[in-house]
Amino acid sequence: MPEHRTPRAEPASDVTLWLGDGEQLQHVLTNERTGVDRSEATSAIRPAADRRAIAGVTDHRVVFVVGGPSAYDGDFVRSLWHSEIVETRVETESLTTRWEFETTAGRCWSFTARETDTGEGAAFLAAARADRSGPHPVVRPLVEHCTILSVHLEQEDWVAFDRHRATAWEALNRAWEDCPDSPAGVPNAVDRLSRELHRLARDRQLRAGRAALSAAEERLDVGALAAGYRRARTGADRFERARTLSERDDIDGAAAVSGLVKADELAENALGRLLATAKMHRAEAAEQSDVEQRVSTLETALDRYNTAATLVTDDSVSEAVRARARTEARQTIQALIDARLDAASTHGVTGNRKLADGNEADAKRAYLAALEDLDRARELARSFPVGDVDSIRTRREALTAQVASLSD
């Protein structure tokens, strides 16, 4: 298959890098500021401050490249096959010309060019639209699949994209099988469409990864650390898939690599904040003199560590972080067992005092509260080997007998 090189948007002469073998560039339109517009709510795609936007008209398609927009890692690249374009409008003003392309998918793309002498380009596109023969029969299904997948990609309809992708790849395999019996130029067209399909597959993972990172950032902003971590890991998984596709299909993988780095940073941030929050609660508990408040704060800290425990099993988490989480969790469990035993003693003293005053009902309530503390301490000691289960059981049996001796 012919060599394919990564498209770039600077300088304008690099427009030839968009093309595969056999495709001829007819016209070049440039603009340093405006970029490309789409008929959507958030439609403007503007180049970075030091970059430009370029549109190329070839014998097969119209190609847009916008240099490094802020919402994209790298250049924005889209192509419209002549068979996709149902209408072309050209509006000329004093210094610029606005080109609009309406596609079979019902989407309108527009590009404002600096040059005003664009009559030849408009005539060329009009002639291309008038050619009803369209692509060769071997190529036509691939063009249609590219169009459908592009629409699903723009709408971020991943279910529909993934479902249709399998059909598109079957058509691609059939096209390669039919190439030897087709006229000259068809293999090159199939190769271009093959790369377009692979690019769409990569972009599907990039889009899903960016959506996951956006969701992760939103959750971290409101303190939903575990949810933010999970979203970041989902994003990392999508970027890793995009990177694998890029390497396998020999297409640009820079956006996948940078996305993966950002996803790992977000996940590390979320997990670090979760562990820091748990440690903060444990430190607060150590300063509290009220035993009930100490128990409540330590339970909160343990809940944070339990949440972290469900996350640190991820292969991306280092053994050092896992060891830190385990050590701090054990320390918290031991402190909570001690706090629960202290609370049980406090409730026991209260029960004894109430019983001495002849108030058996209040005494029983205090003893039952003490039993709850002992049960929780025993549960923790059984689940995590840091407490003395036997001594807790002995205390509980004695308290249970005392409660049973009281009248209902």
CATH assignment at residue 87: 2.30.29.30
Q: Which pLDDT value is given to residue 23? A: 61
User: What pTM was computed for the model?
Assistant: 0.59
More confident residue, 47 or 21: 47
Domain stop point among 110, 133, 156 = 133
Q: 263 lies in a domain?
A: no
As a whole-number percent, the residues of the chain with pLDDT over 90 amount to: 13
Q: 153 lies in a domain?
A: no
Domain stop point among 99, 133, 167 = 133
Q: Which pLDDT value is given to residue 391? A: 63
Residue at token pair 């596609």: 103
Closest CA to 229 of 260, 262, 271, 259: 271
Confidence band (pLDDT; 50, 70, 90) for 69?
A: confident
Residue range 208-237: average pLDDT?
91
Whether 335 contacts 285, CB under 8 Å: yes
Residue 31: beta bridge partners?
A: 53
Q: 180 lies in a domain?
A: no
Q: 106 lies in a domain?
A: yes
Q: 19 lies in a domain?
A: yes
Q: 163 lies in a domain?
A: no
Residue range 312-337: average pLDDT?
80
Q: 116 lies in a domain?
A: yes
Question: Total structural domains in the chain?
Answer: 2
Distance in angstroms (rounded) separating the CA atoms of residues 141 and 188 = 15
Whether 231 contacts 215, CB under 8 Å: yes
Indicate the burial class of 176 (C-beta count within 10 angstroms; 0-12, 13-18, 19 or more): middle
Q: Which of the residue ranges 57-66, 109-118, 123-132, 234-243 has the most confident prediction, judged by mean pLDDT?
A: 234-243
Q: 361 lies in a domain?
A: yes
What backbone torsions phi and psi does residue 173 show, to the nearest 5 degrees?
A: -60, -40
Whether 240 contacts 192, CB under 8 Å: no
Domain stop point among 108, 133, 158 = 133
Helices (H), 179-224: 186-221
Residue range 332-359: average pLDDT?
88
Please give the distance of CA 48 from its chain centroid, rounded to a whole number. 23
Domain that holds residue 67: 1-133
